[in-house]
Amino acid sequence: MAKKTGLSEKRAKLLVCIIRKGEEIALTQACNECCVSLHFSGIGYGTAQSNYLSYLGLDEIEKRIVFSLIPNYCETRVLRAINRRLRLYLPGNGIAFTVPLSGISSIISNAILTTPLRDDSNDTQKNTPEKERNAMHELIVAVVNQNFTEKVLDCSRAAGATGATVFHTHSVNNKQAEQLIGTSFQQETDTIAVITTHEYKAGIMEAIREAAGLKTEGGAVIFSLPVDSLIGIGRFEDIED
């Protein structure tokens, strides 16, 4: 039976950080000083309208994306440490957010959850139920034919998105699903990730569907994920003392 930590059970969570090149070591060190954590890093590309470039720090196109598995009871501690170490409270330095997991290997989970509990009496989110504090942010993901990437970005901006991160991806071995869906996916695709507030989510997803949906040449596969906590890019509330 899972052990309880007051308001919720002990479990692993996914931390996603989009930061400047060369800062992944500082990021992972900040995490490791707070808890046992597991990290994977890759390259993405930031994009925004010219009037947002300076504000969002996207004048530097190439971005480092780091996926980390952390204990849920260390979430605020980790975000606070990252905020200080990488100064994400300054525009352009990056963004970090957490996403709930529906499953994980027990071996990995057991290792991560060896981080001891401690009394973080200064944690501002400690006594706030997750459903109460996590409802305002959403991560929209669209996998689209590369020829339609700019079109998706344009319509997303028009619907309220202020920026996005783009990953180059490939459609791999999808014949069975393609037969059931009734469409073929282009081999070369881009995965576009947009962080937005809940109020803009439906409008952005609908705009992408109309511009490059599954039954168009854009062939976009679109889905969204709930975001728990978020720091960075100024407009969102940062976790600080």
The model's pLDDT over 207-238, given as tens digits with 9 standing for 90+, comes to: 999 999 988 999 999 999 889 888 886 544 44
Residue 163: name the closest of 61, 64, 51, 46 by CA: 46
Q: What average pLDDT score do residues 34-42 get? A: 91
What is the mean pLDDT of the segment spanning 23-50? 84
pLDDT tens digits for 183-195?
888 888 888 999 8
Q: What is the pLDDT of residues 98-129, one digit of tens each?
A: 999 888 888 988 999 998 887 654 554 444 44
Phi, psi for residue 179 in degrees, rounded to 5: -65, -40
Q: Is the pLDDT of residue 82 over 80?
A: yes
What is the average pLDDT value for the chain, to the nearest integer?
81
- pLDDT tens digit sequence for 63-73: 888 999 999 99
